[in-house]
Chain A
C-alpha cells in the first residue's frame, strides 16, 4: 500500500472550513484514499473515501488532485466536536476484506 504523509497538527476556528491535506505520491491506479477520524477516547470513525473523483457526503468533502498524488479532506463548517485525529489511508480497491494500516494522522484542534 502507498505511504501517506500528513501534517502533525492543524488549527481551525469554529465555523470556518478545515482543509486537511494528505500526500500519497506513490499511489497506484487501483488504490482508494480513505479518511477516518478518532475523537479522544473513542474508536476511529469512517468519514469518506474516493478513487479519483471528488466526493461529498454529510460529513465532509474529499478533493483528489488529477494526478492522484495528493488529496484534501474538507470539513466545511468546523465545530468544536470536530476536534480529533484525522487519518488518511491508502488501500487497494477491490481487494475484498483487507486490513487498514493507520499512520500518525493529523491532530485537528477547532477553537472557539
Chain B
C-alpha cells in the first residue's frame, strides 16, 4: 500500500516554464519534506513543513516554492526551471516514534518525480 505518493513519476518541462510536482500521504504525518537529488548525488533537503509552518533551507534557491493546502498534500513549484534543476525530487513524511525520552524520527519517502528540463 503506497503511503507517500508522488505524481507524476516522470515530468518533462521546458526551460523557463513553471512546473508543479505533487505529493500526497495517507499516513497523517505532521511533517513533510522535499528533497532534490541530482544524478549520482545524495538527496539534498530543500524545505519542510511542520503542519503549516514552512521551513526553508538557507541555500534553497528562490526559484523553488512550496505549498501545503492540508495535511495530506504538498506541492513543489519551480517558477522558472533551468537546465540545472533537472533532478529527482523526493517527498518524504515523518513521524516521531517511541517514547518522548527515546523518541526518534523515521522518514517515509515516496518514489520520487524525475524532472527533465529541455
Q: How many A-B residue pairs have CB under 8 A?
A: 66
Which of B11-19, B61-69, B71-79, B92-100 forms contacts with chain A? B92-100
Tell me the complex Cα distance, A16–B9, Å.
34
Tell me the complex Cα distance, A96–B33, Å.
15
Tell me the complex Cα distance, A37–B109, Å.
11
Where chain B touches its partner, the secondary structure class is strand
Of B44, B94, B111, the residue contacting A42 (CB under 8 A) is B111
Tell me the complex Cα distance, A102–B88, Å.
15
Chain A residues, CB < 8 A from B44: 102
Chain A residues, CB < 8 A from B105: 91, 95-98, 100
Contact of A97 with B90 at beta-carbon distance under 8 Å, contacts A42-B112, A43-B111, A44-B43 already known: no
Taking the closest CB of chain A, its distance from the CB of B115, in whole angstroms, is: 14
| Band of interface residues on A | 20 to 34
The answer to whether A13 has its CB under 8 Å from any CB of chain B is no
Interface string of B77-109 (1 = CB under 8 A from A): 000000000001011101010001111111111
Of A34, A94, A104, the residue contacting B103 (CB under 8 A) is A94
* The 8 A-B residue pairs with the shortest CB-CB distance in the complex, in nearest-first order: A43-B109, A102-B42, A97-B31, A102-B43, A43-B90, A44-B109, A46-B106, A99-B45
Write the residues of chain B forming the contact surface with A, with a CB cutoff of 8 angstroms. 4, 30-31, 33, 41-45, 48, 50, 57, 88, 90-92, 94, 96, 100-112, 114
Write the residues of chain A forming the contact surface with B, with a CB cutoff of 8 angstroms. 32, 34, 36, 38, 41-46, 49, 51, 87, 91, 93-105
Query: Could you show 6 A-B contacts with beta carbons less than 8 Å apart?
Result: A44-B43, A49-B106, A91-B105, A96-B96, A97-B50, A97-B96
